[in-house]
């Protein structure tokens, strides 16, 4: 069946790739809406990027709503060093006259979910900080019964990127992440354990840059920025973290994971944002939080799938 999804994002180069893959598979994924959240860049910039992307990718019918401008209790700290001043590296997308469908992203999320036809549910796909999702679940708890799954990019069973133990999305708003992980809704956590190893090679990026197709070339410009960013280059590839979420939705057989309890360190210490994943299968199984943590992925199949999606655009 075609899966209803809402993409909650902070575009962001890898968010842009995730959106392109989802848009290329609209027979499998019904993209109901996009909501934005401050993270990779300020809320103004990521919302502007989302509006430009839906225009550029030919999905103008998908509404974009402006979401949270800051974490629940902290200040937003954009990541210009790894994603550029606009959030999309050196890529300048065409301007668009499209305006946000709403300036109240959390309310827009609730309305969209609660207006679904009887019997239908939605999958939330957050690829940025979890601020909007946490607010949604706290302010509008009645939506929980209409959400079948949250497939998010964030966290790690081992290690971090913004710090030794904290992954950027979770570190940006750890309090929101703790709320979401304990929501009772089934969650698939696409963390650094797999996303660090899913990406494009330098050769593939160079080939995109040389391609005359406007979409392919633009994504070459975006991902080329990662080649100059140490946190995003893992050996021979530039990691495209956020795109793992939509890939899992269509091809879960390419991944291996385990359900486990996940706690988030919300302290101000060196472990802020750490996702503490309990691998002990015998430890209090009745308290497991319903989080499936992805640990392995078939990276070659994923890479091929992404390239086929980008090259399918006929602009």
Residues catalogued as catalytic:
241
Dihedral pair phi/psi, residue 153, rounded to 5°: -100, 120
Q: Round to whole Å and give the CA distance between 42 and 79.
A: 10
Q: Round to whole Å and give the CA distance between 74 and 138.
A: 18
Q: Round to whole Å and give the CA distance between 60 and 96.
A: 10
3-state secondary structure of 105: helix
Which H or E run includes 43? helix 43-56
Q: Which ranges of 157-237 does DSSP label H, i.e. alpha helix?
A: 168-172, 174-181, 192-195, 202-209, 214-226
Which two structure tokens, joined as six digits, stand for 147?
A: 């959400």
Cα–Cα distances in angstroms (integers) from residue 288 to residues 27, 84, 113, 194, 199, in the given order = 34, 39, 26, 22, 31
Which two structure tokens, joined as six digits, stand for 127?
A: 């690829």
DSSP label of 95: P
Tell me the CA end-to-end span of the chain in Å, nearest whole number. 28
Contact 292, 258 (CB under 8 A): yes
Sheet of strand 64-65: strand arrangement: 64-65, 29-36, 3-9, 122-126, 147-153, 187-190, 291-297, 255-264, 275-278
Give the relative orientation of helices 214-226 and 43-56 as an angle to the nearest 10 degrees: 150
């Amino acid at each position: 069946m075609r899966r209803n999804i809402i993409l909650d994002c902070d575009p962001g180069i890898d968010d842009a790739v995730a959106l392109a893959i989802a848009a290329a598979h609209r027979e499998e994924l019904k993209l109901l809406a996009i909501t934005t959240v401050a993270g990779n860049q300020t809320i103004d910039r990521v919302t502007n990027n989302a509006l430009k992307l839906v225009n550029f990718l030919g999905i103008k019918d998908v509404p974009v709503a402006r979401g949270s401008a800051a974490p629940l209790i902290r200040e937003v700290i954009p990541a210009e060093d790894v994603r550029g001043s606009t959030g999309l590296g050196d890529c300048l997308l065409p301007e668009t006259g499209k305006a946000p469908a709403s300036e109240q992203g959390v309310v827009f999320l609730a309305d969209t979910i609660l207006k679904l036809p009887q019997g239908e549910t939605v999958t939330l796909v957050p690829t940025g900080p979890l601020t909007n999702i946490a607010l949604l679940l706290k302010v509008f708890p009645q939506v929980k019964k209409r959400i079948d799954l949250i497939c998010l990019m964030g966290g790690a069973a081992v290690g971090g990127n913004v710090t030794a133990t904290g992954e950027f999305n979770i570190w940006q708003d750890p309090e929101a992440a703790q709320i979401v992980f304990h929501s009772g809704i089934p969650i698939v956590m696409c963390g650094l354990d797999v996303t660090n190893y899913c990406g494009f090679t330098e050769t593939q990026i160079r080939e995109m840059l040389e391609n005359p197709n406007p979409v392919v070339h633009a994504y070459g410009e975006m991902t080329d920025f990662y080649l100059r960013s140490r946190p995003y280059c893992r050996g021979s590839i530039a990691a495209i973290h956020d795109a793992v979420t939509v890939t899992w939705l269509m091809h879960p057989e390419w991944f291996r994971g385990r359900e486990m309890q996940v706690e988030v360190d919300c302290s101000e210490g060196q472990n802020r944002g750490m996702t503490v994943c309990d691998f002990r299968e015998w430890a209090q199984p009745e308290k497991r939080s319903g989080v499936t943590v992805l640990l392995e992925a078939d990276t070659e199949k994923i890479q091929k799938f992404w390239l086929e999606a980008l090259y399918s655009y006929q602009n």
